[in-house]
């Protein structure tokens, strides 16, 4: 199974919670005690195991704060962007 | 002049909402408007309050529509008004001169923002020339009243309705973003300016006219009709006489410590308030400085300023634009005194939130007094 | 034998006192006549206010013995009509009388917005397929290939777009109670169009929603045809592009 | 109202949109209405809806207020650490600079009294960061006595009456702010 | 194992350098993202010019790495777009990016006229059922009974009219090549709406006529709901009034 | 200044069509317009001639659209213009100040008619204040050029395009119904005003920019951007400097027999032609009278007028309005001389066809000289 | 059969010819040598015998220059206006 | 072109819309272009499309023309009997007043030469009342010699070239007008 990972850029995240809402695999949570540089509640990626790099969180993030990565065998050539899903 | 007919309560109000209280106390039951910062509180006030009072509120599709709805409603003889800010004001220019041409009374509140037009969403005083010189196609004059306090926002709107009806002409209340947003105590009261003639010219359906005859209005008054004006030039001459009568009778201003002043500050709206503080500070330093605050920007208190000039004082105009009011001061002074300008380039910050603050005006005074 | 008058100018017709007149054979005069006929038959002369836009069609407002705002700013006819309707709390019957340019070029936004609001007014658009007043320029209603003073080679849709079909366009609007298109190029069409006008005014009397009637109208001066040739042009060119009929007739809107 | 005496309080509050700067100022102004003949509350902000810097000036006085805007005020409250530098200069000599205490760079001026308030921390502890403004307002009222605390509380009740949770949070925050001030009167 | 990036901001996305930002959860950002996605997939970044109207939706133009006229006068977006399209003799792909108020209140006349002309531009309307920028007033798209700051008792159609259905309205226009309505409240709708946008841009590339896409967009600030609650409101309230789908898709117009 | 680059033919042309020749000879291939009397010949000329020359003509749905199409087309860096009359001008006010704010060059020809606005379909000079003071929302300045002959209609349109590009600012050509309709011989010629900087700011798609970077424009230039202007006040300061530079460099006027004159007539446009005739008649009677004809109305030739005043002559302003140009003359004279006004109330007939005729001006001169 | 008669007001007629065109009974002609007060060609009612007072000429006259009369037995009460046909 | 000499002709033509006043003036101005350095043709009219009074002034000169509008002109032509009274005053002393002769009220002035031309009658006889303007123009050209008749005829051909019937009617009318003038040189 594909494994993925995301990174959330604290400078851009406004804590709206869409990523949490839309990750069907429950990989993102808002702990409530962490804040972005602008003072908003920060979401955190917690589930490296389940993330399949589907990129839905990134599509739905209105503030382009998320980057999605996928683990591939070294040397394997994957499409650069699966957003057009 | 300020005969209070009815007084009810004292509240803390924004300039923008004070406009609403003034209007309904003047018997205005009709408001057409369009959202725009920094006057949204005005239209929201009417949206909330007019229905409760049996009036009618309509948010139109744009400001061009708004001013033409005023033309329609005004033709029916009701008291009607709108409020807008600079970009919306720009869009109302054709309609405003149509109102003047058709001689329909109405009140337009212009809460100025920093320009040119869209410019910013914050305060500014850059529409002075357009308000006093008559915007788009020209040839007409509107009375322009400039409040400098929340109370005046309310009181001058009432005066505006009275003058509009008296002269069958639009009257502009020229506020600004700061005055509109700020809060001060407001005495909610009804002012009495005396009786007015009946609006026998109003369109209501001919069955409602005493003589059973139809009424017609047009914004080509002198071109089309031969009933009211025999010809175009008769109409123009009538306008000329009307504007002269306004100029003779409707000048309003306030002076402060002008008697012994060597330097006269001229400012309106929020800049006048700031200047007043600076004058107090300057007086504390022993500087002989006073203030002339035009309340009617058109007709302009030229005579008062001319007198100041002949008494030998110089002038400092303080305005939050690159220099507009200063033209009228120069015209009034007519070479009898020096006229200096402290303009928006002296704001305390470079963002749109920057303002002309008392210290800066004081500095200006110190240099001249 | 006695001679009795069976037809003259309608009761609510009034000879214009304005120096502005219309050209020989201009059918805008018939549009005004029809409005008067409809108003007379409905008995609403004393309660009707006519708002006309700027243009030749606007001159019609000089010809009615009803309260009128004659030639309000170009294109703002529906806005002015809205203002007066609301100012008088819906009481009068308000008619917006517009040329095609006034109505659907510069006035498009005002008409659409009044339609969205379901404003209780009646809009009459005299469609003469050009700007009559200013000397025969392109209007949104100009036919394809029609020569006007600003489409000297004929209207090319790639550059100047397509003819506007206003009543058809208004059908999907919830606020619109009535939309029809008539003509006055034959006595039969004259009578039919009068029925449309009465139906439209009735919608307003019944306070249902906006009602709209377009009327095809000859402009001999700018079509560069004799008046009688114009009638033929209406029949052969205009009606095929602008079919006559009722497009919407709703007893209630919701 | 104290007859004859000339009392005047002036405060500039500054922060970013959504931090309750304007509300804090309005509560003070409304409360002041009961005690003073003249009151001004004057806001300036960037874009109405979407954050950005925002500021308001409140003046309470028994005498006519000339300018509702001030170059410098007796008291300046800064809700937003990043604005400290801009507003330091706007405190009058011998005035008071009330600042949110979390992670601050040093203020340079020696001629003013600096009051650091852990408003955000306090508010979060009470149940919500959005009450930080009330903490700061409480501190201000306790230090200056510009308006009686009871009058401010009446205004808090009027404004948040519909929302019990919010009301009680705000009232607590206000009192906590006063307490902090009382406790730390000697902070400089 | 190697980590490769599969999704970040679109290629033609650009971090705004403007002090203007949008509120947390405002979906206008997604509209901008979708536009970038579509432009990237069609490979037209270097040839596209974006014209945005004034309003929160207009801020989107800050976020695209394409030539842009950002926040042209309120409602004139289609006119400005027309000007630039014609000035460059039809060469660039021109996108008019508007809020609902910008598009169908003050801009109604401009949109209708561009549609009548069959102007070769693509219009995107972000429908958030209110005027976001000015603090949540009534827009033509406001739902019936919806509370806004100028309809404090909820929108009453008798006073404030009916919701505007723009793509539906555009269908009968000969000059309109494409009209659709999408939403971004679910990943599926996100993808579907991207297809609409690409189809719309393709119409312009193929020089067919005006193409139009409405996108429902959450406004947490003025709906007084959390961002996630907004998604539900879109699903339950907005979509029933504003059904998603393609309403017109013409391969040629004539 | 008038370096003729190319001359082709001499024709009899109306002022309105001369505008067309001027524009295409200035390389303008883009016209957006809307019909309105008395300028229909302009738009009809472009409709006919531009397609032949590979240009693009579009009749928009209204003037508000027109000015915004200019905003769009101008952003692309092409030379673009429109023409209108007073009501249309009024509707363009928001757009005009947006153009100034976004610093987009374009040319707007205003063929004035009798007002207020709709007023009449015939000549008038009632839009002077609005053209020179900046119509709707304020805070900006447009250069305003006033032709007084058919040849000048053509030549000044070319100058207008040059100045618009030079300053990245709209330029207004202020004509009137009479000038627009009258015919005179026109030398169809191309004028050369020298080189201009490249329009590197223009929107064309980023693939076409040398640096591959995007270009962005906005009519909230000082509010939104931090690339070009660091802040709002930087932008305003830039505008201020630009307007000062215009005021320093772009004053244009013509004098006639002023050297020994005791009375100076000031007039522009058709009124200047009529005044010239009257001056000739007055000189025949031995009266020492001359003419100052402002060609640029903004910037106004204040210095020339001030010099006239200090030499001791009085002034007679002749204008076909109730008095607008007279304000600028008064501002320039600054109390150094008497300024009299002969206005539209002196027209020879009372219908809209009435004009200020030479005899009437001569009478005015006789009273003063 | 009904008999009718029309009168044409020379002050208002602009000589467009619609009445001539629309009178199905040929009762109106434009002789070409008669002019209205404004100098337009004047139509003339020529056929008293055939006119049936149908009023079509009056409907179609854009300038309201025509009045239509009908001959009735004295005392007979006819509707005032048959325009609503 | 006569070198050095200062020649100037000025004429005001007046009538109602549709009577060809403006066209007559333009034909004269166009013809004048060949002979004079300076030419002005200046119209004023009421509503572009729908009749109403209309007037034009033509000046032909070898010297620069100051005003294209004149209070009084050497020659005034009135196409419309009803306007006679208005325009009588606009003929310069010793000037010429050319008027359509049908059914005229008396002109009062004694200091001008009055030329009555049966233009409408002549035009109707030739085939159409719309050529009356050319009759009047012919008379004017013959009397004043402002422009050579041949140049005017070239202009007539240029303008009506497309329409043979109209062209020949207009040419005939023009010549007939000249003839009338030549025949009646002594009318006063
Ligand atoms: C703002 C403005 N623009 C332009 C005009 C000039 N104008 C007067 S009427 C008209 C159009 C008339 O066309 P239409 O509405 O079709 O009426 P018609 O004359 O054909 O009956 C125009 C463009 C004007 N009066 N005001
Ligand atoms: C002429 C003019 N009128 C009003 C405004 C104020 N204004 C700015 S944006 C806006 C409406 C925004 O609503 P919408 O287009 O729906 O965009 P949103 O903010 O909702 O995305 C208004 C009325 C303006 N800038 N210019
Ligand atoms: S969707 Fe984006 S902005 Fe919203 S919480 Fe997640 S990362 Fe932050
Ligand atoms: S990429 Fe998919 S699985 Fe991974 S965090 Fe985002 S939404 Fe969840
Ligand atoms: S120009 Fe056309 S529309 Fe206007 S009056 Fe003449 S015929 Fe009628
Ligand atoms: S107010 Fe609404 S539309 Fe505007 S940025 Fe905020 S959420 Fe978005
Ligand atoms: S229809 Fe009327 S205007 Fe036309 S010719 Fe007959 S009477 Fe005259
Ligand atoms: S009334 Fe009928 S029959 Fe008689 S003239 Fe008129 S159209 Fe002919
Ligand atoms: Mg038309
Ligand atoms: Mg919106």
When mean pLDDT is compared across C4-18, C85-99, C148-162, E141-155, the lowest value belongs to: C4-18
Average pLDDT over chain E, rounded to an integer: 96
Question: Does F221 score more than 70 pLDDT?
Answer: yes
Q: Would you say E155 and E142 are in contact if contact means Cβ atoms under 8 Å apart? A: yes
Which of A41, A62, A74 best probes binding to E when mutated, by most E CB atoms within 10 angstroms?
A62
Question: Does any domain span residue F135?
Answer: yes
The count of structural domains within chain B is: 2
Last residue of a domain, one of F140, F172, F192: F192
Cβ E162–C105 below 8 Å, yes or no? no
C90 token code pair: 């819906």
Q: Tell me the residue length of chain D.
A: 188
Q: Residue D97: beta bridge partners?
A: D76, D114
Distance (Å, whole) CA F77 – CA F80: 9
Question: Between B37, B59, B63, which is nearest E138 by CB?
Answer: B59
The pLDDT, as a whole number, for residue H46 is 65
Q: Residue E148: beta bridge partners?
A: E151
**DSSP assignment of B180-233, as one string?**
HH-EEEEEEEEEE-------TT--S-GGGSTT----EEESSHHHH-SSS-SSHH
Question: pLDDT above 70 covers what percent of chain B?
Answer: 99
How many whole angstroms from B176 Cα to the centroid of ligand 10? Answer: 25
Quick: pLDDT tens for F131-176: 999 776 778 999 999 999 999 999 999 999 999 999 999 999 999 9
Q: Would you say A74 and E4 are in contact if contact means Cβ atoms under 8 Å apart? A: no
pLDDT band at G77 (very low <50, low <70, confident <90, very high): low
Question: Does B43 score more than 70 pLDDT?
Answer: yes
pLDDT band at G2 (very low <50, low <70, confident <90, very high): confident
- Chain B residues close to C86, C-beta within 8 Å: 30, 32, 56, 58, 69, 73
G51 C-beta closer than 6 A to ligand 8: yes
Question: Does any domain span residue F233?
Answer: no
pLDDT band at H121 (very low <50, low <70, confident <90, very high): confident
Closest to H55 (Cα-Cα) out of H41, H43, H67: H43
Distance (Å, whole) CA F206 – CA E47: 7
Cβ F93–B352 below 8 Å, yes or no? no
The pLDDT, as a whole number, for residue C51 is 98
Q: In what order do the strands lie in the sheet with E93-99?
A: E245-249, E176-183, E210-216, E122-127, E93-99, E48-53, E67-72, F216-218
Distance (Å, whole) CA E138 – CA E141: 8
Q: Would you say F63 and B90 are in contact if contact means Cβ atoms under 8 Å apart? A: no
F271 token code pair: 């009124």
The pLDDT, as a whole number, for residue D2 is 44
Whether residue B102 is preceded by a cis peptide bond, meaning omega within 30 degrees of 0, is no
Distance (Å, whole) CA D71 – CA C112: 50
Number of neighbouring beta carbons within 10 Å of residue H88: 17
Residue G47 backbone zone (phi > 0: left; psi -120 to 50: alpha; other: beta): beta
How many whole angstroms from C250 Cα to the centroid of ligand 5? Answer: 34
**DSSP assignment of D1-44, as one string?**
--SS---EEEEEEEEETTSSHHHHHHHHHHHHHTT-SEEEEEEE
Q: Which residues of chain D have pLDDT under 70?
A: 1-5, 46-52, 102-105, 184-188
Helix (H) or strand (E) holding E122: strand E122-127
Q: Is residue B182 domain-shared with residue B298, that is, in the same domain?
A: no
Question: pLDDT above 70 covers what percent of chain F?
Answer: 99
pLDDT band at G75 (very low <50, low <70, confident <90, very high): low
Q: Is residue B163 domain-shared with residue B260, that is, in the same domain?
A: no
Residue H57, phi then psi, degrees to nearest 5: -120, 130
What residue numbers bound the domain in which G72 lies?
2-81
Q: Would you say H73 and H10 are in contact if contact means Cβ atoms under 8 Å apart? A: yes
Question: Does G27 score more than 70 pLDDT?
Answer: yes
Quick: pLDDT tens for F90-147: 999 999 999 999 999 999 999 999 999 888 999 999 999 999 997 767 789 999 999 9
The pLDDT, as a whole number, for residue H186 is 45
For the ranges B345-354, E155-164, F135-144, G28-37, the one whose mean pLDDT is highest: E155-164
Number of neighbouring beta carbons within 10 Å of residue B242: 17
Q: Give the distance from residue E80's alpha carbon to the nearest chain C alpha carbon, in angstroms.
A: 16
**Where residue H42 sits, what CATH number does that domain have?**
3.40.920.10
Letter string b/e over residues B112-134, b meaning 16 or more CB atoms within 10 A of that residue's CB: bbbbbbbbbbbbbbbbbbbbbbb
Ranges assigned E (strand) in chain F:
3-14, 30-33, 56-59, 80-84, 106-112, 143-145, 170-176, 183-192, 216-218, 253-256, 263-266, 289-294, 296-298, 314-318, 339-342
Average pLDDT over chain A, rounded to an integer: 87
Question: Does any domain span residue F241?
Answer: no
A71 token code pair: 């683990």
A15 token code pair: 């804590």
**Over residues C219-236, mean pLDDT:** 97
The pLDDT, as a whole number, for residue G38 is 72
Quick: pLDDT tens for B230-282: 999 999 999 999 999 999 999 999 999 999 999 999 999 999 999 999 999 99
Residue H8, phi then psi, degrees to nearest 5: -150, 135
Chains C and B touch (3+ CB pairs under 8 A): yes
Distance (Å, whole) CA G22 – CA C228: 10
Question: Does any domain span residue D111?
Answer: yes
**Where residue B159 sits, what CATH number does that domain have?**
3.40.50.970
Residue D120, phi then psi, degrees to nearest 5: -60, -50
**Three-state SS at H88:** helix
Question: Does E224 score more than 60 pLDDT?
Answer: yes
pLDDT band at A77 (very low <50, low <70, confident <90, very high): low
Q: Would you say B315 and B337 are in contact if contact means Cβ atoms under 8 Å apart? A: yes
Question: pLDDT above 90 covers what percent of chain A?
Answer: 67
Q: Is residue F19 domain-shared with residue F157, that is, in the same domain?
A: yes
The pLDDT, as a whole number, for residue H187 is 46
**DSSP assignment of C69-113, as one string?**
EEEESTT-HHHHHHHHHHHTTT-SEEEEEEEHHHHHTTTHHHHHH
Which of C12, C24, C29, C39 best probes binding to G when mutated, by most G CB atoms within 10 angstroms?
C24
The pLDDT, as a whole number, for residue B206 is 96
Question: Does H18 score more than 80 pLDDT?
Answer: no
The pLDDT, as a whole number, for residue A48 is 82
Distance (Å, whole) CA B187 – CA H155: 78
Q: What angle do CA H31, H33, H36 make, to 5 degrees?
A: 115
Note the Cα E128 to chain centre separation in Å. Answer: 10
**DSSP assignment of chain G, as one string?**
--EEEEEE-TTT-----HHHHH-TT--EE--SS-B-TTSPBPPEE--TTT-----HHHHH-TT--EEEEEEE-TT----S--TT-
Instruction: Tell me which of B369 and F326 has the higher pLDDT.
Output: F326
The pLDDT, as a whole number, for residue G84 is 43
Count C/F contacts: CB-CB distance under 8 Å.
50
Q: Would you say F84 and F63 are in contact if contact means Cβ atoms under 8 Å apart? A: yes
Whether residue B38 is preceded by a cis peptide bond, meaning omega within 30 degrees of 0, is yes
Number of neighbouring beta carbons within 10 Å of residue G67: 18
The pLDDT, as a whole number, for residue H49 is 46
Instruction: Tell me which of A32 and E125 has the higher pLDDT.
Output: E125
Q: Residue B315: beta bridge partners?
A: B264, B339
E222 token code pair: 């003025």
**Where residue F362 sits, what CATH number does that domain have?**
3.40.50.920
The pLDDT, as a whole number, for residue D103 is 52
Question: Does any domain span residue B241?
Answer: no
Question: Does any domain span residue H3?
Answer: no
Cβ H47–C20 below 8 Å, yes or no? yes
Number of neighbouring beta carbons within 10 Å of residue B228: 16
When mean pLDDT is compared across B57-61, D183-187, E25-29, F49-53, the lowest value belongs to: D183-187
The pLDDT, as a whole number, for residue F66 is 98
What residue numbers bound the domain in which H128 lies?
8-181
Smallest CA–CA distance from C87 into chain B, residue = B73
Q: In what order do the strands lie in the sheet with G3-8?
A: C2-7, G66-72, G3-8
Smallest CA–CA distance from E53 into chain B, residue = B118
Number of neighbouring beta carbons within 10 Å of residue G48: 12
**Over residues F298-323, mean pLDDT:** 95
* Long-range pairs of C192-197 with CB within 8 A, sequence gap ≥ 24: C192/C244, C193/C34, C194/C34, C194/C37, C194/C38, C194/C41, C194/G84, C196/C246, C197/C34, C197/C35, C197/C37, C197/C38, C197/C124
The pLDDT, as a whole number, for residue D51 is 58
Q: Name residues whose C-beta falls within 8 Å of residue H15's C-beta, 6 or more positions apart in sequence.
A: H21, H53, H54, H55, H78, H79, H80, H83, H133
- CB-defined site of ligand 6, < 6 Å: D 49-50; E 22-23, 26, 28, 56, 128, 132-133, 219-222
Cβ C72–B71 below 8 Å, yes or no? yes
Q: Give the distance from residue C114's alpha carbon to the nearest chain B alpha carbon, in angstroms.
A: 9
**Three-state SS at H126:** helix
Q: Name residues whose C-beta falls within 8 Å of residue H183's C-beta, 6 or more positions apart in sequence.
A: none
Give 3-state DSSP helix, strand, coil % of chain A, rounded to 5: 10, 20, 65
**Over residues B291-300, mean pLDDT:** 98
**Where residue G42 sits, what CATH number does that domain have?**
3.30.70.20
Distance (Å, whole) CA B48 – CA B40: 12
Q: Name residues whose C-beta falls within 8 Å of residue B160's C-beta, 6 or more positions apart in sequence.
A: B107, B143, B145, B171, B172, B173
Cβ H45–F276 below 8 Å, yes or no? no
E147 touching B (Cβ < 8 Å): no
Closest to F147 (Cα-Cα) out of F277, F296, F2: F296
**Over residues B207-236, mean pLDDT:** 91
Closest to D131 (Cα-Cα) out of D107, D105, D159: D159
**Over residues B188-195, mean pLDDT:** 96
Ion ligand 10 contact residues with beta carbon within 5 A: E 99-101, 128, 132
Domains of chain E are 28-249 (3.40.50.970)
What residue numbers bound the domain in which F274 lies?
255-368
- Among E131, E133, E134, E184, the mutation site with the greatest number of ligand 6 atoms within 8 A of its Cβ is E133
The count of structural domains within chain G is: 1
Question: Does C33 score more than 60 pLDDT?
Answer: yes
Question: Does any domain span residue H186?
Answer: no
H7 token code pair: 């020649």
When mean pLDDT is compared across A26-35, B140-149, C3-12, C219-228, the lowest value belongs to: A26-35
């Amino acid at each position: 199974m594909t494994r993925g990972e995301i990174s959330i850029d604290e400078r851009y995240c406004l804590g709206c919670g869409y990523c949490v809402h839309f990750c069907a695999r429950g990989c993102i949570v808002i702990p409530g005690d962490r804040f972005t540089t602008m003072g908003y509640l920060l979401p955190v990626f917690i589930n490296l195991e389940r993330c399949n790099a589907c990129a839905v969180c990134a599509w739905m993030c209105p503030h382009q704060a998320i980057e999605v990565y996928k683990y591939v065998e070294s040397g394997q050539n994957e499409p650069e962007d699966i957003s057009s899903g | 002049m300020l005969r209070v007919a009815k007084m009810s309560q004292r509240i803390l109000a924004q300039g923008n909402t004070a406009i609403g209280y003034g209007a309904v106390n003047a018997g205005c039951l009709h408001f057409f408007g369009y959202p725009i910062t920094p006057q949204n509180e005005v239209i929201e006030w009417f949206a909330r309050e007019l229905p409760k009072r049996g009036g009618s509120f309509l948010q139109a599709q744009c400001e061009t529509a708004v001013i033409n709805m005023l033309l329609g409603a005004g033709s029916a003889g009701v008291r009607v008004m709108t409020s807008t800010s600079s970009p919306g004001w720009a869009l109302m220019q054709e309609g405003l001169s149509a109102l003047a041409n058709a001689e329909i009374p109405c009140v337009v509140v212009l809460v100025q923002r920093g320009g040119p037009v869209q410019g910013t969403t914050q305060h500014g005083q850059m529409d002075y020339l357009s308000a006093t010189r008559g915007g788009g196609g020209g040839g007409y004059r509107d009375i322009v009243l400039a409040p400098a306090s929340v109370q005046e926002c309310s009181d001058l709107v009432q005066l505006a309705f009275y003058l509009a009806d008296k002269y069958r002409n639009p009257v502009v209340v020229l506020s600004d973003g700061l005055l509109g947003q700020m809060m001060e105590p407001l005495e909610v009261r009804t002012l009495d300016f005396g009786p007015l003639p009946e609006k026998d010219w109003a369109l209501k359906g001919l069955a409602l006219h005493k003589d059973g005859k139809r009424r017609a209005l047009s914004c080509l008054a002198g071109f089309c009709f031969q009933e009211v004006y025999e010809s175009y030039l008769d109409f123009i001459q009538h306008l000329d006489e009307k504007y002269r009568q306004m100029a003779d009778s409707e000048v309003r201003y306030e002076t402060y410590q002008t008697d012994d002043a060597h330097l006269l500050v001229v400012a309106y709206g929020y800049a006048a308030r700031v200047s007043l503080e600076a004058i107090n500070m300057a007086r504390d330093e022993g500087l002989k400085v006073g203030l002339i605050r035009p309340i009617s920007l058109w007709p302009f208190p030229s005579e008062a300023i001319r007198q100041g000039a002949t008494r030998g004082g110089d002038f400092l105009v303080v305005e939050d634009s690159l220099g507009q009011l200063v033209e009228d001061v120069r015209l009034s002074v007519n070479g009898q005194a020096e006229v200096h300008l402290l303009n928006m380039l002296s704001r305390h910050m470079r963002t749109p939130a920057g303002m002309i603050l008392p210290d800066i005006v004081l500095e200006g005074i110190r240099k001249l007094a | 034998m006695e001679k009795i008058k069976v037809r003259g100018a309608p009761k609510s017709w009034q000879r214009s006192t304005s120096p502005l007149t219309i050209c020989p054979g201009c059918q805008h005069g018939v549009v005004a006549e029809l409005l008067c006929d409809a108003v007379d038959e409905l008995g609403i002369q004393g309660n009707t206010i006519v708002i006309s836009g700027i243009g030749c069609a606007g001159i019609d407002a000089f010809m009615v013995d009803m309260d009128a705002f004659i030639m309000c700013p170009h294109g703002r006819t529906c806005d002015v009509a809205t203002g007066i309707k609301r100012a008088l709390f819906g009481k009068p019957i308000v008619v917006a009388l517009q040329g095609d340019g006034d109505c659907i070029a510069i006035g498009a936004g005002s008409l659409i917005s009044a339609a969205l609001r379901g404003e209780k007014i009646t809009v009459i658009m005299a469609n003469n397929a050009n700007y009559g007043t200013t000397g025969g320029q392109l209007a949104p209603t100009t036919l394809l290939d029609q020569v006007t003073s600003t489409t000297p080679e004929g209207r090319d849709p790639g550059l100047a777009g397509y003819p506007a079909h206003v009543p058809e366009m208004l059908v999907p609007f919830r606020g619109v109670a009535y939309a029809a298109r008539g003509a006055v190029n034959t006595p039969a069409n004259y009578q039919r169009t009068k029925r449309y006008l009465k139906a439209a005014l009735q919608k307003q009397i019944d306070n249902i929603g906006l009602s709209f009637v377009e009327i095809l109208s000859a402009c001999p001066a700018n079509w560069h045809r004799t008046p009688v040739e114009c009638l033929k042009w209406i029949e052969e060119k205009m009606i095929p592009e602008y079919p006559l009929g009722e497009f919407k007739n709703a007893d209630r809107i919701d | 109202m104290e007859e004859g005496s000339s009392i005047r309080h002036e405060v500039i509050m500054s922060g970013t949109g959504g931090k309750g700067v304007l509300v804090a100022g309005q509560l003070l102004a409304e409360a002041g209405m009961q005690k003073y003949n003249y009151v001004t509350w004057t806001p300036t902000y960037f874009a109405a809806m979407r954050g950005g810097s925002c500021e308001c000036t409140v003046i309470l006085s028994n005498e006519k207020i000339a300018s509702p805007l001030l170059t410098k005020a007796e008291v300046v409250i800064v809700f937003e650490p990043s604005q400290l530098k801009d507003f330091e200069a706007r405190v009058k000599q011998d005035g008071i600079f009330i600042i949110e205490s979390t992670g601050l760079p040093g203020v340079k001026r020696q001629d003013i009294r600096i009051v650091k308030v852990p408003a955000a921390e306090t508010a979060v502890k009470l149940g919500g960061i959005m009450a930080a403004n009330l903490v700061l307002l409480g501190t201000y009222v306790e230090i200056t006595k510009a308006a009686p605390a009871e009058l401010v509380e009446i205004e808090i009740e009027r404004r948040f009456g519909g929302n019990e949770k919010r009301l009680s949070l705000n009232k607590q925050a206000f009192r906590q702010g006063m307490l902090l001030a009382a406790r730390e009167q000697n902070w400089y």
